[in-house]
Amino acid sequence: MSAVQQALRGFTINGAVYNARNVLIIAELGTAHGADLVKAKELIDAAAAAGAGCIKFQIVYADEILHPNTGEVALPGGNIRLYDRFKQLEVDPDFFAELKAHVEARGLLFLCTPFGLRSARELRALQPGVLKIASPELNHTRLLQELASYKLPVLLSTGVSKLGDIEEALDLLSPTEVCLLHCITAYPAPEVDYNLHLLRSLASVFGLPVGVSDHSLDPELVPALGTALGAAAIEKHFCLSRKDSGLDDPIALPPEEFQQMVRAIRRASELGGEETIAAFSRERGSGLVQAILGDGVKRLAPSEAANYKCTNRSLHALRDIREGEPITADMVAVLRTEKVLRPGLPPAWEAAIIGRKARGFIPAGEGIRLEDI
């Protein structure tokens, strides 16, 4: 059996095997609940009715993700600091315990993304059957080491990454069972950027099951064609309405479109790879389908290339650091850079910079670079 065949046999969670014949369909609810338990349960029920097999949330603590100086996000009520918006989404751990119980009462799989050690440990206390790591945390050294210690299967998103980044993450997670989720870190992501032949390339290179975390707007193309190429899991943002106030609601699927996606995935599972590709080529045009399938070479997609080293984690100054001042652990955090601040050294350098002196003034929030120490 080839490495690809072995990898595409599937991904096991709680004894259930997921593969292209039995795809794990994940409704990413993220923070669309807006810290409202009633709305969260409404989202769960709607996603379940739409055909989801797994419900995913995010445990958000603002200071685990970014610095207050990161910048603003535009919302219907006006611009707000992204940090402050994340602060609004912080909830007590009991919130997720109740949601997990509600999800499992519906016979669905509960999934959650942590962003730092605090949220990871709170998630572990919920006793999940599987973990999810978002693309920006692919290089979050301490978080990956923490999650590896839990010995749970992991869904690992690989947006805005290169092969070497994935390899380093897998080294930190070893020997955890991992399913790689191919992802394009753009909101929305153009369908033609997905290069879905990469699924089999990743399966061949790493010998692991694969799936797709899809940020495109079309409910069928990427999910069904990804299934045709062996995806064991398809993740898609879910909302009640694209006009809602959730950070990801504008690119999420409302219930009727999510149902459309589920039907397309199930159809692809039944037809198989070649027939699915042929059917979409007839229905949507072979040029479009071939553009979405791509050449299978791992590279940064055009829509996400500018995000490299910005959405990923790096070392940032928590406060102003004066020239000549020794750098202590409480001055540094592993954060996302986003679009305003400069990126710093990779998280793996964290221990190496502690105790060094600042070569010049490092403003609060900015990345700490090699030339700064």
Rounded Cα distance between 190 and 212, Å, is 14
| Residues 330-355 pLDDT 10s | 999 999 999 899 999 999 999 999 99
In a domain, 361, yes or no: yes
- The reply to whether 317 and 268 lie within a common domain is no
pLDDT beyond 80 at 18: yes
- The reply to whether 209 and 154 lie within a common domain is yes
Confidence at 73, pLDDT banded by 50, 70, 90: confident
Please answer whether residues 135 and 185 qualify as being in contact, where contact means their C-beta atoms are separated by less than 8 angstroms.
Answer: yes
In a domain, 301, yes or no: no
- Which pLDDT belongs to residue 9? 83
- The reply to whether 220 and 135 lie within a common domain is yes
- The reply to whether 177 and 326 lie within a common domain is no
Please answer whether residues 201 and 231 qualify as being in contact, where contact means their C-beta atoms are separated by less than 8 angstroms.
Answer: no
Pairing of the two strands 154-157 and 131-133: parallel
Average pLDDT of the chain?
96
In a domain, 225, yes or no: yes
Q: Which of 293, 328, 358 is the last residue of a domain?
A: 293
Q: Which of 233, 259, 293 is the last residue of a domain?
A: 293
pLDDT beyond 90 at 235: yes
- The reply to whether 248 and 338 lie within a common domain is no
In a domain, 303, yes or no: no
- The reply to whether 269 and 326 lie within a common domain is no
- Which pLDDT belongs to residue 313? 97
Q: Which of the pair, 132 or 6, is modelled with greater confidence? A: 132
- Please state the domain count of the chain: 2
**123-147: average pLDDT:** 98
- The reply to whether 179 and 244 lie within a common domain is yes
- The reply to whether 62 and 23 lie within a common domain is yes
- The reply to whether 334 and 248 lie within a common domain is no
| Residues 24-36 pLDDT 10s | 999 999 999 999 9
- The reply to whether 221 and 319 lie within a common domain is no
CATH number of the domain that residue 360 is part of? 3.90.1210.10
In a domain, 219, yes or no: yes
- The reply to whether 52 and 78 lie within a common domain is yes
Q: Which of 265, 293, 321 is the last residue of a domain?
A: 293
In a domain, 298, yes or no: no
In a domain, 304, yes or no: no
- Which pLDDT belongs to residue 1? 64
| Residues 297-340 pLDDT 10s | 999 999 999 999 899 999 999 999 999 999 999 999 999 999 89
N- to C-terminal Cα distance for the chain? Answer: 51
**15-27: average pLDDT:** 97
| Residues 237-266 pLDDT 10s | 999 999 998 899 999 999 999 999 999 999
In a domain, 300, yes or no: no
CATH number of the domain that residue 68 is part of? 3.20.20.70
Confidence at 132, pLDDT banded by 50, 70, 90: very high
- The reply to whether 107 and 179 lie within a common domain is yes
- Which pLDDT belongs to residue 5? 77
Which tokens in the block code for residue 171? Answer: 């080294």
Rounded Cα distance between 17 and 19, Å, is 7
Residue ranges making up the domain that contains 332: 309-372
